[in-house]
Amino acid sequence: MNSVVDQRKDKFNRYKDLRQNPAELLEPAIKPVAEYGVWDRINDVTDKDSFKEFGFDFEETNPLEFEGYVQKKEELRKETDCHDAIVAGTCKIGGYEVALAVMNKKFMMASMGVELGEIVCQTAEYAGKKNIPFVIFTASGGARMQEGILSLMQMAKTSAVIQKFKDEGGLYITVLTHPTTGGVSASFATLGDITLAEPGALIGFAGPRVIEQTIGQKLPEGFQRAEFLEEHGFVDKIVHREDMKEALTQILMLHSK
């Protein structure tokens, strides 16, 4: 039933809709994301009761001594029940043991500072030591401005550690969710052995507004969306949230030893 012809037709229709009325098509994919939290995600992709969160216990970081930054983080910790913009641990997906990290955009748009970068690195290092795959769901507005140059350095730090994990034979799977931009998209988010993306997700280096200001023209509909990246060859597969666990399980099965 899912012949290649049907798939092509489906894709063609999808793009046609996208061109004619992008909001209608993208809304259902994006809107629920606002409510779909880190723990919903973990519940949906992991085997029941298998997720065990790492017990990280970082001290406060504020390298620029930026005014109001620490207070803001403290408020968000109460609201989100996360110490920073990422949750990491181990779990099973379809019976396969993996290290899993999920970024939490309710925490300062999941921007990347020292703590977040360090958690990505330590999770990759843990996966390397245990010889298990590393799956990460990315979402981010980019670098954590409040941490200045140290946030920029997270790009080099995480990329180096991920590369090492991959060079030593580790399987690294990234799932790009809405939105994955800036310093995160230009580091560990786009280094996957396998790169999945959710439909309609905005993925790019520069934000659409900055690009429009730079080039002085409106961007075409669907620009920087997951489908656009797929068309230009930067995504292995677009996978809907409902099919995510199945897709991950298949990939893990294909890499199992």
For other proteins, the binding residues (CB under 8 A) are 52-59, 61, 63-64, 66, 89-90, 114-115, 117-118, 121-122, 126, 143, 145-157, 159-164, 167, 182-183, 185-191, 203-207, 210-211, 214-215, 219, 223-224, 228, 232-234
Phi then psi for 90, rounded to 5 degrees? -120, 160
**In 3-state terms, what secondary structure has residue 131?**
coil
- Judged by CB, which is closer to other proteins: 45, or 235? 235
Specify whether the CB–CB gap between 33 and 179 falls below 8 A. Answer: no
107's CB contacts (< 8 A; 6+ apart) are: 76, 80, 82, 84, 85
Task: Compute the distance between CA of residue 153 and CA of residue 220 in angstroms, rounded to an integer.
Answer: 33
CB of residue 116 vs other proteins: minimum separation in angstroms?
Answer: 11
- Judged by CB, which is closer to other proteins: 25, or 165? 165
CB of residue 36 vs other proteins: minimum separation in angstroms?
Answer: 23
Specify whether the CB–CB gap between 86 and 188 falls below 8 A. Answer: no
- Judged by CB, which is closer to other proteins: 14, or 211? 211
CB of residue 199 vs other proteins: minimum separation in angstroms?
Answer: 19
**In 3-state terms, what secondary structure has residue 68?**
coil
- Judged by CB, which is closer to other proteins: 5, or 68? 68
CB of residue 5 vs other proteins: minimum separation in angstroms?
Answer: 27
